[in-house]
């Protein structure tokens, strides 16, 4: 009915046209955090606006059923509107929701999960538990990569790429990055300016320093600085190492009482004409080639090239929830699919008889094995390969391991392959714990499983990326016949 009414009001999409200036109320929020409003039944998406705002906008692009407009001015702000703490929040595009109160962000994320489960998954009773929010939704990222370049006057700068371009906007004080970064960046830039070390020029493929990468162990306080260079070596590198070593970085902003120390200074060689940030060769300038950090009671070794969760505090909470949902008692066989560097596998191995992890990236499997050894686990085994191939093969081959008491799934945004879900159903685990970064594919996959003998028992969203539109969630499915 509603669709019919809309079509009547919509005269072939020409309610408005490009460059029209309109006043409109924002009534909804889209999947990427953009504001949505309607003008005579015609839908407009307005980036940087939130529900409750009345705004003056300029129409940028129209399509038959919807269009895009640019926010010009807020006439009446939404009650949820706050002043972004970062002066370049709009240009950057890294944070889509800084202008929205954190409470409202959390509510929106929770509802996004609920809506997907109901609209896409067709679930009517959704056992939602309250979203796990962050204590401090700023300065939470433990990994940063800043491009280095020059401004129009030739001065060396570092910052971020302006949305959809490779123009560097100077900014060394990112609101979601760890506060250590600022001192590190300022030190490297001052060194480069003083010793005339050139910055990389992407167009000409000349100049030396391409990116400055930092990784921070938020529990251990260990910090890594990695310079990505278009060359073999960095002149005067001992001077830079000495200056970085002298930095004292007591972090108070994110509530940590940890003294941060630089434990590792490395060079990464990338002489290719590419926008891939890292090359494959790493050399140590000072200290170790890695830093360590902890998530809960498990220690991880992080090298410049290895994957690690960017918000370890919330990761801990997310995985604790997964562990609670799995409700292990010590005798279980668990399959952890899409296991990455084994973060969830090792969490589960603390309470299970045996954990099998499956991951497609061989390097991540190597890291997973090393992390298992570092923490003295002998009840985990990892397979490198696509889950939809490995799991059916193992199911066919290894009679004794056909049994799975619990299966955990943590796929990338596109969700699980149907062949894998089919095998998981055949394995008949009592519980399936599904961790997801995309509620739409989560809803699709849960529907598949719930049509084949499982019931949706618990759902909880978790905010790993404050100020962004991303939302993680963990769900528990239980086999119905037990
Ligand atoms: N559970 C992990 C990471 C999950 S991210 C952790 O907590 O760290 C999703 C992972 O799935 C990535 O590591 C990605 O490399 C992997 N992956 C993607 N497609 C896959 C497939 N078809 N089979 C197995 N792993 C896959």
Residue 75: name the closest of 54, 102, 93, 59 by CA.
54
Question: Which residue has a Cα nearest atom 10 of ligand 1?
Answer: 338
Cα–Cα distance measured from residue 437 to residue 442, given in angstroms and rounded to the nearest whole number: 8
What residues does ligand 1 touch, defined as CB less than 6 Å away?
A: 309, 338-341, 343-344, 358-361, 364, 386-388, 410-412
- Atom 13 of ligand 1: nearest residue by CA position: 340
* Nearest-atom index, ligand 1, CA of 308: 8
The ranges of the chain annotated as CATH 2.40.50.1070 are: 143-302
**Residue among 298, 306, 358, 359 to mutate when testing ligand 1 (max atoms within 8 A of CB):** 359
CB proximity list for 158: less than 8 A, separation 6 or greater: 146, 147, 148, 149, 168, 170, 172, 185, 188, 189, 212
Selected catalytic residue, list 95, 174, 180, 437: 437
CATH of segment(s) 143-302: 2.40.50.1070
Give ranges for CATH 2.40.50.140 in the chain. 12-76
Cα 411 to ligand 1 centre (Å): 5
Reading the chain (482 residues) residue by residue, the pLDDT tens digits are 333 344 434 445 468 899 999 999 999 999 899 999 999 999 999 999 999 999 999 999 999 999 999 999 999 999 999 999 999 988 887 899 999 999 999 999 999 999 999 999 999 999 999 999 999 999 999 999 999 999 989 999 999 988 777 889 899 889 999 988 999 999 999 999 999 999 999 999 999 999 999 999 999 999 999 999 999 999 999 999 999 988 877 655 555 567 889 999 999 999 999 989 999 899 999 999 999 999 999 999 888 888 888 999 999 999 999 999 999 999 999 999 999 999 999 999 999 999 999 999 998 999 999 999 999 999 999 999 999 999 999 988 876 666 899 999 999 999 999 999 999 999 999 999 999 999 999 999 999 999 999 999 999 999 999 999 999 999 999 999 76
How close is the Cα of 20 to the center of ligand 1, in Å?
A: 45
Give the ligand 1 atom nearest the CA of 358.
24
110-135+311-479 is classed in which CATH architecture?
Answer: 3-Layer(aba) Sandwich (3.40)
CATH class label, 12-76: mainly beta
Given ligand 1 and candidates 361, 412, 413, 465, which is best to mutate, with the most ligand atoms within 8 Å of its CB?
Answer: 412
Tokens for 143, please give them: 């990994």
Alpha-carbon distance of 188 to 227, in angstroms, equals 9
Listed in order, the ranges of the chain carrying CATH 3.40.50.150 are 110-135+311-479
Which amino acid residue places its CA nearest to atom 3 of ligand 1? Answer: 340
Nearest-CA neighbor of 78 among 98, 53, 55? 53
Active-site residue, 116 included: no
Residue with tokens 């009592």: 430
Distance 357 CA to ligand 1 centre (A): 10
Q: Whose CA is nearest to atom 7 of ligand 1?
A: 343
């Amino acid at each position: 009915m509603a669709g019919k009414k809309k079509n009547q009001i919509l005269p072939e999409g020409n309610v408005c046209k490009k460059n029209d200036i309109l006043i409109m109320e924002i009534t909804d929020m889209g999947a990427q955090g953009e504001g949505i409003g309607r003008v005579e039944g015609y839908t407009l998406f307005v980036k940087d606006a939130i529900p409750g705002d009345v705004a003056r906008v300029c129409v940028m692009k129209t399509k038959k059923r919807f269009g895009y407009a640019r926010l010009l001015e807020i006439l009446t702000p939404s009650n949820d509107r706050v002043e972004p703490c970062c002066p370049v929040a709009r240009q950057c595009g890294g944070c889509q929701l800084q202008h929205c109160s954190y409470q409202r962000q959390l509510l929106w994320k929770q509802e996004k999960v609920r809506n997907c489960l109901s609209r896409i998954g067709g679930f009517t009773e959704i056992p939602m538990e309250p979203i796990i929010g962050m204590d401090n939704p700023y300065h939470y990222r433990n990994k940063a990569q800043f491009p280095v370049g020059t401004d129009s006057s030739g001065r060396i700068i570092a910052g971020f790429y302006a949305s959809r371009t490779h123009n560097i906007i100077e900014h060394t004080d990112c609101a979601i990055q760890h506060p250590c970064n600022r001192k590190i960046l300022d030190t490297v830039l001052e060194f480069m300016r003083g010793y005339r070390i050139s910055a990389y020029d992407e167009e000409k493929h000349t100049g030396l320093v391409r990116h400055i990468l930092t990784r921070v162990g938020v529990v251990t306080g260990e910090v890594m600085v990695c310079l990505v260079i278009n060359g073999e070596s960095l002149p005067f590198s001992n001077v830079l190492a000495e200056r970085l070593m002298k930095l004292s970085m007591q972090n108070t902003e994110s509530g940590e009482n940890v003294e941060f120390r630089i434990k590792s200074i490395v060079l990464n060689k990338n002489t290719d004409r590419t926008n891939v940030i890292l090359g494959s060769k790493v050399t140590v300038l000072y200290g170790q080639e890695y830093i360590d950090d902890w998530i809960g009671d498990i220690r991880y070794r992080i090298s410049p090239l290895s994957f690690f969760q960017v918000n370890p505090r919330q990761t801990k909470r997310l995985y604790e929830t997964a562990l609670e949902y799995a409700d292990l008692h010590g005798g279980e066989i668990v399959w952890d699919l899409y296991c990455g560097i084994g973060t969830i596998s090792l969490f589960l191995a603390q309470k299970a008889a045996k954990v099998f992890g499956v991951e497609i990236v061989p390097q991540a499997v190597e890291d997973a094995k090393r992390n298992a050894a570092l923490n003295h686990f002998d009840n985990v085994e990892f397979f490198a390969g696509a889950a939809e191939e490995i799991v059916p093969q193992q199911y066919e081959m290894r009679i004794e391991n056909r049994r799975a008491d619990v299966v955990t799934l943590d796929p990338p945004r596109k969700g699980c392959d149907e062949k894998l879900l089919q095998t998981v159903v055949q394995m008949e685990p009592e519980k399936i714990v599904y961790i997801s970064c995309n509620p739409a594919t989560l809803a699709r996959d849960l529907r598949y499983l719930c049509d084949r003998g499982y019931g949706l028992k618990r759902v909880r969203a978790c905010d790993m990326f404050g100020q962004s539109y991303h939302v993680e969630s963990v769900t528990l499915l239980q086999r119905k016949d037990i």
